[in-house]
Each structure stands twice: as C-alpha cells, then as structure tokens.
Structure 1
C-alpha cells in the first residue's frame, strides 16, 4: 500500500489512482488548498513550518477507496492513522513539498513526527509540522514555500493571509507574499526551461519558479 500511495500522492510524488501517460506530468491532476504558518523560536531561528492541506473531492474519494478496509465507505480513526503514516513515509523523498532557503541556499527538512488526517465535507485534510534540518537564523533573505517539484499536484494558497509569520523574532523583518505570473516566469527563463522540463519536470527544480512563496528580509 505504501508504494501505491506514493504513486497516488506523488508523481513519483503525487499521482492519480489510475495510470497516467508520462507527458501528462507537466500539469496538475490533484488540487489542494493550503495554509502555512512559519514559526520563529525564542532563540532567533526558524522553529517550524505548520501546514494544513485540504484536497479536492475527487482525489479524496480515491483515498477512501484505497484505505477503507472494512468497506463502510468512510475512513475510521485507525484507517485515517494508517493513511497519515503512509503519507508521512511516502513524501520523505520530496521534502514534504516544503522549501526553505537562506540567502539562496536550500535548507533540508526533517521528517515530521506525525501526519494528522481527517475528512471534512468529503475532503481529505492533512495537518503536520516540519522543522529545518539545521538552525536557520532570522538574518538575510529567507524564502518559504510549498510546492510539488513534479507539478502533478497544485497547492494553492487562496489568499495572502494563508501564509503567516508567527513569533516575535519576525517583528524586525520585512516580508511579502510573492505570486509569480506563469507567463512572466516562462518569458524570463526561456533559456533554462527546456522541452524536457515541460514534458516531465520530475528530477528538475524549476517548478519553484512558479510557486507562491513568502519572502522575508531580516
């Protein structure tokens, strides 16, 4: 089941519960609305990124089919717990779609302790927190974002208020939410966005150019 969910949740990161031709990987098939809280610790470093993801009803229904062991057409608490643990393991190779940079350098992400899973209004909801692999001081230019590097899953922040800074450490910093325009990204990076990227972005890191992000300058 773990490999199947890795296929469902990831393009090798998030995939549909049916076979998809390789060229289709260049655009999303799964949709999620997200909220991201970036928390500063008392020691002046980034403490954690708190995530809430709500998935579309079609994908949520497919997950029920995969994990409804007793056939009652819903996910009981133990089935939800199994789902959460499977996702926690499956998304490790994709850094839980989380990106943190400090002055342009990528910071690794620790494996979260647990994924909390629930169903609300027929939609799968995931709640979890991740921490940087090493201390990230609140100095210089930092960026925070959530995106699927394979472009199979579209993770959307409905409003700028869904990206939030928390903690006194951010009070001395300036911040803004950046929502790149895809046409501008393509025109400005035409030399580096190759045909291979559009046909199968797996293994590239260019999708970050299209991702909504929080930029912080301290």
Structure 2
C-alpha cells in the first residue's frame, strides 16, 4: 500500500471498482454535534478508531525510521495526508437540513494517535453554511463508496451537545441492510454494487442521528 492510495474513498485509489461495495476498512466512530449559543450548529466533533489490519498498513507506510511505531512527526504526517485526501469526500459527513445536503469546511487539523495497535483520529469540522436548529436535521458519518465501514457501537456515540438542543427531539436511525435491499430492489442495480459512487443510494445504509426542532 502506497501513500498515494489515501487519495480516494476509503483512503484507496488502486482497488478495482467492483470491490467498492464490500468494506475493507473498519472504523468505530463517535460524533458530537455541537450547538452554538446563536441557535445554529457550531461544529461536528469526530473520533475514529481504525481496525488493526488497516492500522498495520498505515504503520508500514509512515514508519520512516522503521521502529515499528508511529512517532509524533509520523502521526502528524498521517493527519495531514488524510486532511488533504478526504476533502473531496466531505470527510464522510452525512448532513441534511430539511432534506437538503449540507457540506463542511476543511478541518484546521486532524489529530492522530496510535494506541494498543490501533490508529485513532480526532478532528472537528464546521458546516459550510448556517445550520439553524429548525425543522428536520440529520447527522451521520458514512463512506459513499462503502469501502470503509463506519460503525457507531452504541447510540450513545451519537451525541448532541449544547443547551440549544434541549427543546429538540432526537433519535438514532440504524437501517437494516437486508431490509434496505429488499425495499429498493429496482433501484439497487448491479451498477450500484459495482460502483456506489455513481448514485446516492449508499446513504440508505448509513446510521444517522435525526433531530427535529
């Protein structure tokens, strides 16, 4: 795996399109949606913990002094690479405001750590436009190519932060993959499973936090 392979979905460019519909990277995530005092969404705080296999490949790529670990300068290089690479994928943020997709700004920095054989990333992004806490909002994290599986181990990993959310109702939606496929047989064609990036259907499989204010 070369460093350039970070430059596309799932951090990889050299995998065949036919492999996209099957996760190869596994991430346990936490998302905190932070409301500002002005009644708008202020930022989204992300924590990603990567599986050991992918972590090992990153260590091989970035361990320049070959001491079998990632030193602070090497961790910083990982963060910079991911920050530059995922901009075209909106950092996997899945955000809607009254049904309209909302993008995010590039984070100032992606902090990276290496603990117990696993890579961790911490970063915050801000919405690219004002997101008032009004109407129906949805917040989640997913890879549109389905190459990376982003999982929230419990509903408690999707968190609302700030007094402005106190008047809002919220619940976590966890789609059942078999049910999604059954209900969308005509839409989920072979082309989708070969290359999900060609459609928006991958969102049907994404876990998200739905909020009504």
TM range (shorter): over 0.9
Match of 1:93 in 2: 88
Select the residue among 26, 34, 39 that pairs with 1:44: 39
Match of 1:193 in 2: 188
Q: How does 1:69-88 map to 2 (within 5 A)?
A: 69-88=64-83
Residue 43 of structure 2 corresponds to residue 57 of structure 1: no
Give the deviation of 1:199 after TM superposition.
1.3
Q: How does 1:1-218 map to 2 (within 5 A)?
A: 3-6=4-7, 12-15=8-11, 20-218=15-213
CA-based RMSD: 1.4
Give the deviation of 1:187 after TM superposition.
1.7
Give the TM-score of the pair, scaled to structure 2. Answer: 0.96
Q: Retained in 2: the 8 A contact 1:40–1:167?
A: yes
| Structure 1, unpaired ranges of 5+ | 7-11
Give the TM-score of the pair, scaled to structure 1. Answer: 0.93
Give the deviation of 1:16 after TM superposition.
5.9
CA distance in 1, matches of 2:6, 2:20: 17
Stretches of 4+ aligned residues off by more than 3 angstroms: none
Q: Retained in 1: the 8 A contact 2:6–2:12?
A: no
Q: Retained in 2: the 8 A contact 1:110–1:133?
A: yes
Instruction: Give the secondary structure class of the aligned counterpart of 1:202.
Output: helix
Q: Retained in 2: the 8 A contact 1:15–1:29?
A: no
